[in-house]
Amino acid sequence: PASGWEKGQVENQVGNVREWLFTPLARFASFADLNNWLATRCKELAQRSHPVQKQRTIASCFADEQSLLRPITAHFDGYVEQMMRVSSTCLIRVDRNRYSVPASAAGQAVSVRTTADQVRVVAHGEVIAAHSRVFGRDQLVCDPWHYLPILERKPGALRDGAPFVTWDLPRPIQVVRDRILKHPKGDRAFVELLMLAGEAGLDALTVSCELALESGVVSAPVVMNELRRLIAPHLPKVAISVPDGIALTTEPVANCQRYDYLLGASNVH
C-alpha cells in the first residue's frame, strides 16, 4: 500500500481471494496437486474485470504495474529448523517419523529443516540428506545409499537389512543382483559394485548391467569392467611423429604360410 490507511484494504483483498479459492474447502492428494490447482484458479480469477477499470481484466492491469514493482531477488525458503543428533542407526525423527542420514554423520549434531513437503538435513553448511516429507506416524523413510559404508563392513545386510529389502532398483540391476547373490561371496561382490556406482552414478551402473546381460556373461568382474570402461576418460587420439631414421621403407605383409616352414624336417629338434 502507498499509505498506511490502505493496509486494511489490502488485507481485506487477501481475505476475499482466500474465500474465493477455499470455499468450499477442497482436498488434494499432495501439495503438488494443490499448487497446480491454485495456479489454474489464480489465472481464472485474473481474467475477471478490474474493480476500478471495468473495461480491463485484472491480469492486464497487473501487467502494466509489474514493471514498477520491486523484483524478488531471492527465493523465499520457508522452513522450521530444529537441531538434532543423528542416531547410531543413521536416523533423525521428525513428527514421529524417521528419516535416514548418511552414515558418516552418525552421532553428529545436524540442522533439520522441515518445509511443507520436504525434510532437509544440513551439516557444516551443506545439505547432506533430503527426503519427501511423509505424514502420519511411525513411518521409516530410507535412502539406501546413505548406508553404503555400513554395507562395506557388513555385506550380509544387503539381503535382510531394512533399507535394502524394499530398495527399488532399475530392473537390469535387480536381475544382475539376484544372479550375483547366488555366487559364493556374492554379497561382497555386489557391494563392491555399489561402492563404485556411488561415484559413477546409478545410470552408469544400469547401463553396465544391461551390457553384461546382453553379453550373456553375468558376474561382478564383468559388470565392474563395463562400468570402469564407461566412466574412464576418453583420451583424444594423438598423432605420433616417427623420425625418418626408424621409419619403415617396406611395410610388412601378413603371411601366415611362412610358419609352415617351421614344420619342415630340417627344423624339427
Q: What is the pTM of this model?
A: 0.69
Residue 267 has pLDDT above 60, yes or no: no
Q: Is residue 71 domain-resident?
A: no
Spatial CB neighbours of 249, under 8 Å, sequence gap ≥ 6: none
The more confidently predicted of residues 122 and 30 is 122
Let me know whether 137 and 214 are in one domain: no
Distance CA 212, CA 225 (A): 10
Q: Is residue 72 domain-resident?
A: no
Let me know whether 19 and 100 are in one domain: no
Beta-strand pair 80-85/126-132: unpaired
What digits encode the pLDDT tens for the residues 131-171?
999 988 999 999 999 998 888 888 888 888 888 888 888 99
pLDDT at 121: 97
Residue 203 has pLDDT above 80, yes or no: yes
Please classify residue 220 by burial: count the beta carbons closer than 10 Å to its beta carbon, then call 0-12 exposed, 13-18 middle and 19+ buried.
Answer: buried
Let me know whether 242 and 259 are in one domain: yes
Let me know whether 244 and 178 are in one domain: yes
Per the CB < 8 A criterion, the answer to whether 172 and 206 are in contact is yes
Residue 269 has pLDDT above 60, yes or no: no
The band of 198, judged by pLDDT with boundaries at 50, 70 and 90, is confident
Nine-digit cell string for 196? 563404485
12-18 contacts, C-beta under 8 A, 24 or more apart:
17/45
Residue 218 has pLDDT above 60, yes or no: yes
For the chain, the average pLDDT equals 87
Distance CA 147, CA 132 (A): 18
For residue 99, give the nearest of 109, 116, 112 by alpha carbon: 112
Query: Which one of 125, 141, 157 terminates a domain?
Result: 141
Let me know whether 198 and 84 are in one domain: no
pLDDT at 234: 64
Let me know whether 156 and 259 are in one domain: yes
Spatial CB neighbours of 50, under 8 Å, sequence gap ≥ 6: 56, 57, 58, 60, 61
What digits encode the pLDDT tens for the residues 88-107?
999 999 999 999 999 999 99
The band of 235, judged by pLDDT with boundaries at 50, 70 and 90, is low
Q: What SS3 state is found at 220? A: helix
Distance CA 146, CA 106 (A): 11
pLDDT at 84: 96
Range of the domain at 116: 80-141
Nine-digit cell string for 207? 547401463
pLDDT at 112: 97
| Helical spans, DSSP H, in the chain | 7-22, 31-45, 58-66, 148-153, 157-160, 162-165, 171-180, 186-200, 202-215, 220-231
Let me know whether 269 and 164 are in one domain: yes
Per the CB < 8 A criterion, the answer to whether 113 and 120 are in contact is yes
Mean pLDDT value of segment 112-139: 94
pLDDT at 266: 59
What digits encode the pLDDT tens for the residues 47-65?
999 988 999 999 999 999 9
Let me know whether 123 and 26 are in one domain: no
Let me know whether 153 and 264 are in one domain: yes
Looking at the structure of the chain, the number of domains it has is 3
pLDDT at 211: 92
What digits encode the pLDDT tens for the residues 174-190?
999 999 998 888 899 99
Let me know whether 256 and 224 are in one domain: yes
Query: What proportion of the chain, given as a percentage, has pLDDT over 70?
Result: 94
The band of 4, judged by pLDDT with boundaries at 50, 70 and 90, is low
